[in-house]
């Protein structure tokens, strides 16, 4: 067995020692969105430090626990905190949990994040369903020897986000009467936010929002043939001509304040998974 697959199996085995639950949906909770895990019933929470091969989560607003239980009757596993490249993780490390979730039984992945709104129509607190992304991290979790058991050497990326499940998330926004955009996410290495010139460049490249996560996870999901839905919360407006200062605390606060909308969309995806 190759190194990565062995690590995946060892993490999954350690999780199975703590709970019998076989999750069907995996949820990655972004900055300020960890509260969704508190709604999981019959929860088993495992700090990442108690699992092999996992580093501590050091990012602001990321608790660093795996939470398994039921959400609206659906068995789920939620990552309350993720691993970002700017924390010093490799792209492969930042995506490994996607394969662990699949090994545990997950068949659908829901990814959430906090992002800066580059599209001038976007306002703080608006959710954005990812239609597509641009990988500007210049890192890819699949670099290295490919394990054909995990997925193909050259994964197709023509449609990384599941359209049917995305429609279900958008329908929740319509039902509950809040604005939800669909747009293109630019994945940046971070940890600096962008300069005015960089936000202007990103807009010209076709990005609607910018963040420092999600892309490695979505690539791994595509590699592993896991249907994936991703939802951003716009936490700061990035118009180059009237750019204000941004901080990590402000991002977490804005995502937390708007988290009810993302929770409604995630629940709609769970209902659509069936």
Ligand X SMILES: O=P(O)(O)O[C@H]1O[C@H](CO)[C@@H](O)[C@H]1O
Does 30 engage in binding with ligand X (CB under 6 A)?
A: yes
**Contact residue for ligand X among 251, 254, 268, 269 (CB under 6 A):** 251
**Contact residue for ligand X among 19, 113, 119, 259 (CB under 6 A):** 113
Burial class of 130 by CB neighbour count within 10 A (0 to 12, 13 to 18, 19+) = buried
- Closest CB to ligand GUN among residues 261, 267: 261
Six-digit token string for 144: 């290295």
**Contact residue for ligand X among 27, 59, 96, 103 (CB under 6 A):** 59
As measured in angstroms, the least distance from the Cβ of 250 to ligand GUN is 9
As measured in angstroms, the least distance from the Cβ of 116 to ligand GUN is 2
Does 37 engage in binding with ligand X (CB under 6 A)?
A: no
Do the Cβ atoms of 143 and 149 come closer than 8 Å?
Answer: no
Q: Which does 194 bind (CB under 5 to 8 A by kind): ligand GUN, ligand X, none?
A: ligand GUN
- Closest CB to ligand X among residues 75, 81: 81
- Closest CB to ligand GUN among residues 30, 69: 30
CA atoms within 13 A on the CB side of 145: 7
- Closest CB to ligand X among residues 47, 190: 190
Q: Which does 30 bind (CB under 5 to 8 A by kind): ligand X, ligand GUN, none?
A: ligand X
Binding residue numbers? 31, 62, 82-84, 114, 194, 213, 236
Sites for ligand X among residues 137-176 (CB under 6 A): none
Does 93 engage in binding with ligand X (CB under 6 A)?
A: no
Residue with the shortest CB distance to ligand X = 30
Q: Which does 82 bind (CB under 5 to 8 A by kind): ligand GUN, ligand X, none?
A: ligand X
């Amino acid at each position: 067995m190759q190194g990565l697959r062995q690590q995946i199996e060892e993490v999954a085995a350690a999780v199975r020692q703590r709970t019998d639950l076989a999750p069907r949906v995996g949820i990655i909770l972004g900055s300020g969105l960890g509260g969704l895990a508190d709604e999981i019933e019959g929860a088993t929470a495992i700090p990442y430090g108690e699992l092999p091969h996992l580093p501590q989560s050091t990012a602001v607003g990321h608790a660093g626990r795996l939470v398994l239980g039921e959400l609206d009757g659906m068995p789920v596993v939620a990552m309350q905190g993720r691993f970002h490249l700017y924390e010093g993780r490799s792209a492969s490390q930042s995506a490994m949990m996607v394969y662990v979730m699949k090994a545990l039984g997950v068949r659908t992945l829901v990814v959430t994040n906090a992002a800066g709104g580059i599209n001038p129509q976007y306002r703080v607190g608006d959710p954005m369903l990812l239609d597509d992304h641009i990988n500007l991290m210049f890192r890819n979790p699949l670099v290295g020897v490919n394990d054909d058991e995990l997925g193909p050497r050259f994964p197709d990326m023509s449609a990384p986000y599941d359209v049917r499940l995305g429609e279900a998330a958008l329908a929740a926004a319509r039902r509950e009467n809040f604005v939800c955009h669909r747009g293109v996410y630019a994945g940046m290495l971070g940890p600096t936010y962008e300069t005015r010139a960089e936000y202007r460049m990103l807009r010209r490249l076709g990005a609607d929002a910018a963040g420092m996560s999600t892309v490695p996870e979505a690539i791994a999901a595509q590699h592993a043939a896991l249907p994936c839905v991703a939802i951003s919360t716009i936490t700061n407006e990035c118009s180059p001509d009237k750019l204000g200062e941004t901080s990590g605390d402000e991002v977490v606060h804005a995502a937390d304040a708007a988290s009810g909308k993302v929770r409604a969309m995630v629940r709609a995806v769970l209902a659509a998974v069936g």
